[in-house]
Amino acid sequence: MTAVSVEKVNGTPKTSPEPRFSPVALAEAEAIRTRAAAEADALRTEAAGKAEAEKAKASEEAEKLRIANERAAMRLEKEKADHRAHLAKKNAETAKSNAEEEKANKAAADKEAAEAKRDAEQQRTERWWKWGARGIYAVGLVIAAPVQFMHFWDRARPFLIAAPALLEGLALVLAFGAAWAVAHRRDVAPYRVGIMLGAVIAAGINMYGGLSDPRIGFNAGLIGAIASLGGPIVLMAYEHGIAQKADGIPSWRERRSAEKAAEAEAAVVEQARLEKEAAETAAAAEKKAAQERAEEEQRRRDDDRREGHPKIWEIAEAMRSARGSQYVTEQIWAEAWYRKTGSKLVGVTAEIEAESRAAQARMQNVTSTPIIGEFSLIESQKGPRSKRDPNAPDGRRNNGGTPPVRRAGDSQPNSPVARNQARVEQTAVAPQNDRPSDN
């Protein structure tokens, strides 16, 4: 038999009946869709979380890099500032050194200039003094020689004409000998004595000639005597100064300056000695006062310990006497306290230690006991739950209010730790359920 399909009925196309779907199939489809949407949401959430994490990590890395760069910049600025400060300090030290060197050089130059000026002045004055003394001697020789020539002139004894040359030349030659002695650092006293003897003899002869010979006269004899004495005296004074300079003998002014400097130095030394003695006296007084305060404090401590702890004091006093100590020191007192009370802490007895430990035990119990009540930590974690608005839309999926059918594998399986804990609890409860009832 052949099956015939009817396409039209009374000329009208026949419509096929609407397909019907099972609620189970709808629920399964909705569950699949919901699971797919949840997985998609989870993936989106995970991706968003990863993106946020990467973003946060990137921001954190950027912040760390910024802080590192900022610190590096600050460190660089600090190093630059330190380097600039070092350069400034070095430049200041160099400038100071240069200034000190310039000052020292200027002082040395000024000193050299002053010494050169002083040397030039000394040479100038010495030159004038030298030629002045020689000039005076020459003038005296010019005055005294004619007087002596007139006095010794005798036609019967013409050889006496050489007597003036002998008398005046004697002083001159001895003056030259004195100059030689000064230059060779020899004794000049004999030469000076000879100069003065020759000058006195020549002066006496001139004075005698002026008084006895009318041709010469008193005035010529007197001036001749003065000339015979003055020239050698001036020349001897010049040689005496040169000799003192060569021998390094200080002048009166130098000796006076040295005496003043010695007096000033002695005054400074005396002032320093007086200040040292005053400081030593003050230090001794301070030391004595400190010792008296220490002794007073020791007496107060001993009296307090003797009155407050007489038994321990007896032990401490015995230990002090045995050890030969002057006072009951802190070490002796600590040892006596330990021998009497057994406590290494001075001031702590067995009663105080027992009360302290009891208080510590009570505090330990109080701090380790859990709090029950309104201050409990467990209750404090429970916050008030907000009521749901009755007009709020249904939080479930748009499936007509029908909850999705749960299938195996929809929910997250328990963790291994929870399974092990449940197994342990079942193992512990099973023997109790197996006990026979008392009834």
* Residues 173-224: tens digit of each pLDDT: 877 787 787 777 777 778 778 877 877 888 888 788 778 877 777 887 788 7
Do residues 146 and 232 both lie within one domain?
yes
Do residues 240 and 268 both lie within one domain?
no
Higher pLDDT, 38 or 325: 325
Do residues 347 and 289 both lie within one domain?
no
Give pLDDT, residue 13.
55
Do residues 273 and 322 both lie within one domain?
no
Q: Can you tell me the mean pLDDT for 320-332?
A: 87
Do residues 160 and 222 both lie within one domain?
yes
Among 234, 251, 268, identify where a domain stops.
251
What is the residue range of 245's domain?
134-251
Do residues 314 and 361 both lie within one domain?
yes
Question: Please, which pLDDT band fits residue 379 given cuts at 50, 70 and 90?
Answer: very low
The residues with which 13 forms a beta bridge, in sequence order, are 8
**Is 297 within a domain?**
yes
Say if residue 380's pLDDT is above 50: no
Q: Tell me which amino acid residue 378 is.
A: I
**Is 374 within a domain?**
no
Do residues 139 and 247 both lie within one domain?
yes
Higher pLDDT, 357 or 171: 357
Give pLDDT, residue 1.
43
**Is 256 within a domain?**
yes
**Is 274 within a domain?**
yes
Determine the Cα–Cα distance for residues 125 and 129; give it in Å rounded to an integer. Answer: 6
Residue 382 per-residue DSSP state: -
Computed over every residue of the chain, the mean pLDDT equals 76
Say if residue 44's pLDDT is above 70: yes
**Is 176 within a domain?**
yes
**Is 203 within a domain?**
yes
Question: Please, which pLDDT band fits residue 381 given cuts at 50, 70 and 90?
Answer: very low
**Is 27 within a domain?**
no
Of 22-26, 256-260, 337-341, the one with minimum mean pLDDT is: 22-26
Do residues 185 and 205 both lie within one domain?
yes
Among 235, 251, 267, identify where a domain stops.
251
Determine the Cα–Cα distance for residues 333 and 346; give it in Å rounded to an integer. Answer: 8
Do residues 243 and 153 both lie within one domain?
yes
Do residues 147 and 215 both lie within one domain?
yes
Q: Can you tell me the mean pLDDT for 361-368?
A: 79
Do residues 163 and 259 both lie within one domain?
no
Terminal-to-terminal C-alpha distance of the chain: 78
Burial environment of residue 149 by CB neighbours within 10 A (0 to 12, 13 to 18, 19 or more): middle
Residues 6+ apart with CB under 8 A from 427: none
**Is 416 within a domain?**
no
Q: Within a 13 Å sphere around the CA of 256, how many CA atoms are in the beta-carbon half?
A: 3
Say if residue 159's pLDDT is above 80: no
Do residues 149 and 214 both lie within one domain?
yes
Number of domains the chain is built from: 3
